[in-house]
Chains A and B, each alone.
Chain A
Amino acid sequence: MSLDKATVRRIATLSRIEVADADLEVVAGQLSGILNWIEQLKEVDTTDVAPMTGGTDLKLQWRPDVVNDGDKMEKVLANAPDGHDGFFGVPKVVE
């Protein structure tokens, strides 16, 4: 499977990663290589295997409905480049 430049540009936009036009060709080649490598999985016969969402036999753990976290606004905001009065500040989102 090989990706064209337009698809790479679209993936980059969706991922919010900046890829310069000059690099699109290279990245397309790299991503295609990864996809081709993964495509080898298709060679395995999975006719009688139910689809899985994970690779373990574990059961999903449930937590009780108990409040035991939160109340740490300062820690939550510690790495925010632009905190104001307990809020995260971000560039204005105009609707």
Chain B
Amino acid sequence: MGYIIKGEKHNWELVIGLEVHAQVISKAKLFSGSSTDFGGGPNTQVSFIDAGMPGMLPVLNGHAVEQAVKTGLGLKAKINRRSVFARKNYFYADMPQGYQISQYDQPIVGEGTLVLDMPDGSLREIGIERLHLEQDAGKSIHDLHPHKSYIDLNRSGIPLMEIVSKPDIRTPEEAGIYLKKLRSILRYLGTCDGNMEEGSMRCDANVSVRPVGSTELRTRCEIKNVNSVRFVMQAIEYEARRQVDCYESGGTVDQETRLYDSNKGETRSMRSKEFAHDYRYFPDPDLLPIEFDEAFVTRLQGALPELPDDKLARFTKDFGLTAYDAGVLVAEKENAEYFEEVAKGCDPKLAANWVITNLFGVLNKRGVEIGDSPVSAKNLGRLIELISDNTISSRMAKEVFEAMVETGKTPDAIVEERGMKQITDTGAIDAAVDKIIAENADKVAQYKSGKVQMLGWFVGQVMKATQGKANPAMCSDALKKKLDA
């Protein structure tokens, strides 16, 4: 913990809850058969249902139900086998029905838990309050015409999961880790692609402050639609400071919706719309409750992939990796899969080291994802095998790796081409050792007179004589044997 804002009157702590809108991965919309693809021409992915035409009736996409239940299971949450769609009424140009079909007091998923892996190695549990299904609104474009807003309804009706945390988060850092962890779980499950830039994952942050030691919940402000993890953390930091300043100067905090301006690094009040919060929820009469049996849940449970927490536990237990290394590897499903492929035929700790230090270094430098890695997992695994069986030294392996990055060739081909094979033939090493000893009688005398640290110099000479190809440990052994004889 330890995130305290020091004021004149009190020390203050933060109380943060996050609401994440995650776009469900599906082909068709929540209640219609039009496409959810990103980037289509305006209003080309719109049915009469999505356009709110009178008399059109919604029919639920069963796949969206499966995705929501899968996500609930991934969050170890209570699955509600009966839940109800409700209308949330408000008026906005990009919502043609005049209401959003959402869920209110009977959501499809209830309470669950998300475990944060803190940088100091500790674990921190954040409660999940609920997850519900709802439809997205269309998109308003304000800069195409001087006096008009343009409306594109392609997004209208796309299925979203709203995932609400309990107000358990205490620091901006925890908020960031929560979002990354949630994103990781969603991506493992294949229920949301987690792309914040394209808007398929959006976050609202509820922030309040209170004097340290108190358990009260003070008035909160909701910061809407922040579109990156970094901005969420910055917005919380700014907003908490603002509220502390408010209280400390004798003022009060109004419950309101605020926007984060990432250019100025501040939050500001949204002009509150008249009756904006009078949503008049009621059960949608066009839709019956969502109901399914236990077998439906069991089937989905049985098909769940291994999730990051389980994978991390397995990597530390079976492979002996540190929690930190395992955490780095499991954060992205694709990275974890790559690592496992590398580690198939070689020492897993060495494999983790190579993937994290060398491969990720190259990927970062080139700005590419693991899917576009210039080095295949199979080739990297083979390189590590060549180190382990003493074909090449670790130092040479770095050179081979660089060549692999440049050329995409197999390590065997590179070692062969460049004649880098390590000399492990004792005859050849002994010959080189004999030669060096014969040529440097003065140094031998020094060694024998007690300057044993001269051994390093001899090893260096043998390495030089073999163009670095001799196995250093074997050289050292051979030298000792002869010099001490």
A interface list, Cβ under 8 A from B:
10, 13-14, 16, 53-54, 56, 58-73, 75-77, 82, 84-95
Contact = CB atoms under 8 A, between A and B. Distances in A.
Contact of A87 (B60, B141, B147): B141
A82 B48 CA distance: 18
B44 A13 contact: no
A86 B51 CA distance: 13
A85 B151 CA distance: 11
Given A61-B59, A76-B153, A87 B275 contact: no
B280 to A, nearest CB: 7
Contacts of B424: none
* Residue from A14, A58, A65, A84 whose CB has the most chain B CB atoms within 10 Å: A65
B42 A89 contact: no
B61 A54 contact: no
Q: Give the size range of B's interface with the partner.
A: 35 or more
Contacts, number: 143
Contact of B91 (A16, A54, A67, A76): A16
14 contacts: A53-B284, A53-B288, A54-B285, A60-B288, A65-B26, A67-B28, A72-B47, A73-B44, A73-B46, A84-B145, A86-B43, A90-B151, A93-B93, A94-B142
A69 to B, nearest CB: 4
Contact of A63 (B33, B278, B287): B33
A87 B33 contact: no
A89 B27 contact: no
Contacts of B63: 64-65
B59 A67 contact: no
Contact of A54 (B148, B280, B288): B288
Contact of B28 (A65, A71, A85, A95): A65
A67 B35 contact: yes
B51 A14 contact: no
Contacts of B274: 13
B291 A59 contact: yes
Nearest to A60: B288
Contact of A91 (B84, B148, B291): B148
A76 B53 CA distance: 9
A89 B150 CA distance: 5
A10 B278 CA distance: 11
B291 A60 contact: yes
Contact of B33 (A13, A53, A66, A91): A66
A81 to B, nearest CB: 12
Contact of A76 (B46, B59, B65, B141): B46
B33 A69 contact: yes
* Interface-central residue, B45, B152, B291, by most chain A CB under 10 Å: B45
B446 interface: no
A53 B26 contact: no
B150 A87 contact: yes
Given A68-B33, A70-B34, A73-B42, A63 B148 contact: no
A89 to B, nearest CB: 5
Nearest to A71: B44
B83 to A, nearest CB: 10
B44 A86 contact: yes
